[in-house]
Amino acid sequence: MTEGSAYRAVEAAVRGFGAFRKRWAMLEGLAGFIVFGPGCLLVWFLSDWLVGLSPGPLLGTFAAVALISLWAVAWKLVRPTLRRIRVEDEALLIEALHGQIDNQLIASLQLGREAAEATGPLGHSLHLVAALIERTAELLTRLNPRGLLDLRRARRWLGAAAAVAVAALACLVFAGDAVAARAERLADAYAALLDRLFPVELRVTPGDIAVLRGQNTWFHLEVIGGRRRRAQYVQTLLEGPAERRSLVLELELTNGKAACGSECLVPFTYHFVYGRRRTPEYHVRVGDRPQLAAINYELSYPAYTGQPPRTLVGQVAKLQGLNNSPRF
């Protein structure tokens, strides 16, 4: 083996050790990101699914999960990926891990580079440098520097990341509705925060009304400045002085508007609920159409008939009007 080929072999072995260490550092960083990013998100999901967080803690904990995920991306993923492989640093690490090389590896690299770049006489024999490099190349062939690395911590991180990935996949497959519900609750919590920061106005029509029994009536809600996608219609039937029965319906808001129809059979009250806001309670009075059995009427003759003015008072069972006259 010539001096140049021996030096290239030593440098390639050290650089290969550095590349191997970087790959495992990147794998460990990826595992750490999965544990700190999706792992914390999984804990957040399970906490809300099992316990049910209120909107404030739900949004706050999700923000904390997002910050932890950003930190994991920068520290666990980006940092190992951007780390450059420095041959001399890797040589010092190999010597530290082996413990019995006694600066042979770093000396071979430095002296070999000086010998290759030198234009004048060196202060030491080129034959000694060549012998040192050849000896180091043979040592690295027998040594296998990659076996000096302790990969147990990286494997533990990979095992934890695999467990998190399996749990997250199981939640997506077997609890997809719960995952969608968490996303919807998070959107509602964010909308609730914006509703607290900015004014929201609720408008209800028709308000207090009186209708005929059996008439189908529509009640409308308009939310001005709101960001939620749902509201509630609450109807309380008044069937007696001591009995009240409520009906709650979920309504989808389209362009901030929603409506609910109801057949009016008994008197009731109604109101709308939007987030933590509630409209006033409105009353719907229900009555029956009157039945006319008889009527009292007064008839006065006009002056052009020549009849003396007089008033007739009586009762009839049925009214009969002229053609095109208003009907009662």
Give domain status of residue 318, yes or no: no
Query: Which candidate, 195, 200, 244, 202, places its Cα nearest to that of 219?
Result: 202
Q: Do residue 249 and residue 143 come from a single domain? A: no
CA atoms of 218 and 169, how far apart (whole Å): 45
In a domain, 319, yes or no: no
So what's the pLDDT on residue 196?
82
- 3-state SS of the chain: helix, strand, coil percent to 5? 50, 25, 25
Phi, psi (degrees; rounded to nearest 5) at 327: -100, 145
My answer on whether 110 and 224 are in the same domain is: no
Could you give phi then psi for residue 309, rounded to 5 degrees?
Answer: -60, 135
One domain, residues 76 and 133: yes
Q: Are residues 118 and 217 in the same domain?
A: no
Q: Pick the residue with more confidence: 167 or 275?
A: 167
Please tell me whether residues 8 and 120 are part of one structural domain: yes
Q: What are phi and psi of 215, to 5 degrees?
A: -75, 135
**Cα–Cα distance, 272 to 201 (Å, whole number):** 12
Structural domain includes residue 35: yes
| Same domain membership, residue 168 and residue 30 | yes
pTM, entire model: 0.69
In a domain, 313, yes or no: no
- Nearest CA-CA partner of 14 in 79, 116, 132, 108: 108
Question: What's the order of all strands across the beta sheet hosting 215-224?
Answer: 201-205, 215-224, 257-264
- Residue 322's pLDDT is what? 46
Point out the least confidently predicted range of 49-53, 77-81, 291-295, 317-321: 317-321
Q: Does 127 map to a domain?
A: yes
pLDDT per residue as tens digits for the range 296-325: 666 666 777 777 655 555 555 555 554 554
Mean pLDDT over all residues of the chain? 85
- Same domain for 211 and 147? no
Whole-angstrom CA distances from 51 to 25, 38, 59, 115 are 37, 19, 15, 70
One-letter identity of residue 97: L
Same domain, 238 and 123: no
Can you state the angle between helices 38-50 and 152-174, rounded to 10 degrees?
40
User: For the chain, first and last CA: distance in Å?
Assistant: 121
* Contacts of 292 by beta carbon, 8 Å cutoff, 6+ apart: 319, 328
Q: Do both 215 and 155 map to the same domain?
A: no
* Predicted local distance difference test score (pLDDT) of residue 328: 46
Report the CATH number at residue 227: 2.60.40.10
Q: Are residues 148 and 233 in the same domain?
A: no
Into how many domains does the chain fold? 2
Query: Domain range for residue 258?
Result: 201-287
**Mean pLDDT confidence for 33-39:** 96
In a domain, 121, yes or no: yes
Q: Is residue 150 part of a domain?
A: yes
Q: Does residue 128 have a pLDDT over 90?
A: no
Is the domain of 136 the same as that of 209?
no
Give yes or no: residues 116 and 261 share one domain. Answer: no
Segment 78-106 mean pLDDT: 90
Q: Of all helices (H) and strands (E), which one includes residue 235?
A: strand 230-240
Q: How much is the CA Rg of the chain, to the nearest whole Å? A: 43
